[in-house]
Amino acid sequence: MKKQQGFGTAPVFFTAISTILGAILFLRFGFAVGTIGFWGVIGIILLGHLVTIPTALAISEIATNKRVEGGGEYFIISRSFGLNIGATIGIALYLSQAISVAFYIIAFTEAFEFFFDLVNKYWGIMLPRQIISVPAILLLALLILKKGANMGVKALYFVIGILFVALALFFLGKTPYAAESSFSLFNAEFRNPGQFFMVFAIVFPAFTGMTAGVGLSGDLRNPSKSIPLGTTLATISGMIVYIFIVYKLALNASVEDLVGNQLIMSKIALGGVIIIPLGLAASTISSALGSIMVAPRTLQALAVDDSFPSKKMNKWLATGREKDGEPINASMVTSIIALVFVLMGNVNAVAEIISMFFMVTYGSLCLISFLNHFGASPSYRPHFKSRWYISLIGFVVSGWVMFQINPMYAIAAIVLMSLIYLYVNHYHKDRNGFEAIFANAMFQINRNLQVYMQKKSEAKTSAQWRPSAICISRESFQRNTAFRLLNWISFKYGFGTYMHFIEGYYSKSTVEQSRVELRKLIDTFDKIDNHVYVDTLISPSYTSAIAQTIQVPGIAGMENNMVIFEYSKEQPEHLNEIVENYGLVNSGNFDFCILGSSAKLLDFKQGIHVWIRSTDTENASTMIMLSFIILGHPDWHKSSIKIFETCKADKVEETRQRMEELVTTGRLPITTNNIEIIIEDEDLSMKELINDKSADAGLTIIGFRGDHIKSSGTAVFSGYDNLGTVLFVNAHDQLEIE
């Protein structure tokens, strides 16, 4: 049976405000004022609200963009960051909410301090606090399990009434100290600044209640109205009440009384001996009531999304009571967790790490809002709008405050959540979504960078040169040599775009073919450490495909400056059409590279051989730089570069000296032992010499000239049968290595 969603804005407001004006307010604000003074606590309130106000606005914004269902903050985060990230933060959030129930119940027992003092005074017995706290948690659990949220909200109104009466009598009260005090805003102090963040850590849990009402999202008639209004109103109201309470405390009590008496408010309020313990009891039990209503709904939402590894566990936790949909099983688990911590008697050790998880949640909500603003997705159209810079401030301050409160707990929280994420991601590998919210932001960054670089583009010097290569291949599924070369180039220093050519006219069938083959290529290349952008291109001919490809913008924002073609040395039937399009590519001022792929196994340990011939020295610097760039890939980490240069007999020393100087001044990882100067011999052809010297090389790089293609055609690239894979290079401009 579907539950009736009947709550309005009031439960959201009262659940939040009752948690905000809770145990910390009654038990720790006096200590805070006594320790760091009026202005110190005002600073804490303002700093705390630099987190809570942006979070309240972020929640309000996100809640008005789409329907917020059960789970509150968890639902918002999981539908924005994806289910796996959402489950990670949601589990931590749930534990914080469940343990908070115990925290508030233990604080509730402080309202009965007079009873414990009385028993100790007359009978000499130090009763454990569990005498009060255990029955209290059991009665609270019974109330929720039997009556559910409807009864919880009714009880909430009752205790809120007591809380407001207690606060009203506190403000009406006055002490003899106030009559003699000279305190004013002009002489108020900021004492002990070194203890600011210590006190902040004690007081901050008071601010974490502002999102408590969001957990009722699945029980609201109109979440997009009730969540923004209730949460924002509670946050701002709480901040105003805090400021007035701090002023009242500073005016009415000495530093000694503020620090030494945790119930100093009872000394100030009218009828304070009765009403302040009663107000403390009301505030803590209302906070516990709010948490015990919200936590099971978070757990239930996690189970509905199959966040836990056991299907039976998910089904059991997701089950609601038939008559009203109450998360009865999740409430039982929450009550047991709370009872365990109540029996421990003291949760101070975990109070700070609870705050850490809340801070992570708040930071996440602010980050979601900021990324949605920055990404400017058309689907993000909230009725309530915050500002991107407010959300960014909330995110940054959340992270900063975590480490200021307790660096070790902050690290522990991050490590624990990382482990939870890895575990969740392990058994839900098929779920994603984490990338979605970042995708729009990345689109915006990329767009702005591209436009900026285009506006600021200037002629690059040779010292700034790096390859921005584009490769076109129709045989992507036959061999991956061209892709691997492009990946070597793109790993560290260069950029690469790989275009898979589909011959045919643009039509519904070829478009579908391109999508299927692109997905297949991405899946295939993802098995490699891929740094190349992969795409498909439909064109009726190879020449038209080349013409389209060389006009594709560079993926890095810089223009492409190199085109790479590939053919099989064993079956070179496509080499002729590559050579025929040399003039087309050359007209665009590109470096022209042809990769001759060999069936011979590529042996990285044999290194890269670079051949510089006296007839094409203009290619030398580009070939050397390419060899250096390729060597930067991990595949080649145990390899070396060897340079062979040919020259006339009378130029040997000059050539050697020039090459060694180039290697030294260019800071290239090439030893002088790996530079070999060869005297040209008319009786021995260059191809025979290269076949002999580089037969075992992992990769051989050879230069060629454009006029040689015009006169000899494909013969320029034949005759290297002894070699493995060969990269032929024709540089459009001669580089200068500095």
Residues 6+ apart with CB under 8 A from 240: none
Residues 6+ apart with CB under 8 A from 43: 190, 196
Q: What is the pLDDT of residues 675-700, one digit of tens each?
A: 999 998 877 888 999 999 999 999 99
Q: What is the pLDDT of residues 211-260, one digit of tens each?
A: 666 666 566 777 767 778 888 888 899 899 999 999 999 999 999 999 88
Secondary structure of 269-305 in the HEC alphabet? CCCHHHHHHHHHHHHHHHHHHHHHHHHHHHHHHHHHC
Residues 6+ apart with CB under 8 A from 558: 453, 457, 460, 468, 495
Give the phi and the psi of residue 276 in degrees, each rounded to 5: -70, -45
Please compute Rg for the chain using Cα positions: 36
Domains recognised in the chain with CATH numbers: 9-345+353-434 (1.20.1740.10), 463-730 (3.40.50)
Q: How far apart are CA 345 and CA 102, in angstroms?
A: 9
CA dihedral of residues 194, 197, 199, 204 (deg, nearest 10): 170
Residues of the chain with pLDDT under 50: 1-4, 459, 461-462
* The predicted structure's pLDDT at residue 644: 95
Q: How far apart are CA 189 and CA 199, in angstroms?
A: 15
What DSSP assignment string belongs to 389-435?
HHHHHHHHHHHHHHHHH-HHHHHHHHHHHHHHHHHHHHH-TT---HH
* The predicted structure's pLDDT at residue 3: 44
The DSSP output letter for 604 is: G
The total number of residues written for the chain in this structure: 738
CA proximity to 303, closest of 330, 342, 340, 331: 330
Cα 563–chain centre separation: 36
CA proximity to 558, closest of 466, 463, 462: 466
Cα 431–chain centre separation: 16
105 with 342: CB under 8 angstroms?
yes
What DSSP assignment string belongs to 381-398?
--SS---HHHHHHHHHHH
In the chain the first and final C-alpha atoms are separated, in Å, by: 77
* Half-sphere exposure (Cβ direction) of 416: Cα atoms closer than 13 Å: 17
Whole-prediction pTM value? 0.65
What are the residues facing 595 on neighbouring strands? 566, 727
As given in the structure block, the two tokens for residue 98 are 């469940």
